[in-house]
């Protein structure tokens, strides 16, 4: 390497590439996260909103909570897309996860607890025995409170027409206590509809 191209033993011709790499790193590591944090995500649940968990399963989240993920129905129970949903409010996060399942709600709950304990949160601990819960439309499921270092929570499991629905709500103890009526109403709103959106 010619002397005129060296600075502190480095090839000056490579400097522009190094500066470019540093600039890209700063853009994605510093600038983008700050812009993302500065933009508030606001998609509140309006009265009557329902989210499609599966083609024939819907839920009504608490009015005023924020939809972080999920697919709204068209008002008749039908939706062009369906899948997992996440709603937040009152310091609580609620995740609703549908998947095909051919067992009972109790078996689904046991599977959820096993997976959560093994992979998600090693401090996960169930509190008390599971209880039976019934939605407003008559769907029977099981409900289990739990606690961990992340806070308190509740898991509900339903099996509706071959679709297992896992509902997990968690947050600090005080917020969970305050939001309990809204969480109960959301769980009770889970219902089956036919593919045309008729109840």
For the chain, the domains span 3-38, 51-192
The full length of the chain comes to 199
User: What pLDDT was estimated at residue 198?
Assistant: 44
Q: State the sign of the Cα–Cα–Cα–Cα dihedral 36, 90, 88, 170.
A: positive
Q: What are the two backbone dihedrals, phi and then psi, of residue 72, each rounded to the nearest 5 degrees?
A: -70, 150
Fold of 51-192: Protein Transport Mog1p; Chain A (3.40.1000)
What is the value of pTM for the model shown?
Answer: 0.72
Predicted confidence at residue 88, as pLDDT, reads: 95
Per-residue pLDDT of the chain (199 residues), as tens digits, is 555 556 665 666 666 777 778 888 888 787 777 766 665 567 899 999 999 999 889 999 999 999 999 999 987 767 788 999 999 998 899 999 999 999 999 999 888 877 665 555 666 677 778 999 999 999 999 999 988 777 789 999 999 989 999 999 999 988 999 999 999 999 999 999 865 344 4
pLDDT at res. 179: 95
């Amino acid at each position: 390497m010619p002397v005129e191209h060296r600075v502190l033993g480095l090839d000056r011709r490579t400097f522009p590439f190094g500066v470019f790499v540093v600039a890209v790193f700063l853009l994605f590591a510093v600038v983008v996260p700050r812009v993302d944090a500065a933009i508030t995500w606001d998609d509140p649940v309006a009265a009557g909103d329902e989210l499609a968990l599966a083609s024939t399963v819907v839920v009504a989240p608490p009015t005023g909570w924020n939809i972080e993920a999920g697919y709204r129905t068209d008002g008749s129970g039908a939706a062009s897309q369906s899948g997992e949903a996440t709603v937040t409010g009152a310091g609580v996060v609620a995740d609703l996860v549908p998947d095909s399942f051919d067992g009972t709600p109790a078996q689904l709950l046991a599977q959820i607890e096993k997976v959560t304990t093994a992979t998600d949160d090693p401090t996960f601990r169930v509190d008390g025995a599971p209880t039976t819960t019934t939605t407003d439309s008559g769907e029977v499921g099981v409900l289990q409170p739990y606690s961990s270092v992340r806070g308190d929570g509740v898991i509900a499991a339903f099996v509706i027409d071959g679709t297992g629905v896992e509902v997990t709500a968690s947050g600090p103890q005080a917020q969970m206590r305050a939001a309990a009526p809204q969480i109960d109403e959301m769980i009770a709103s889970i219902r089956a509809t036919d593919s045309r959106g008729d109840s």
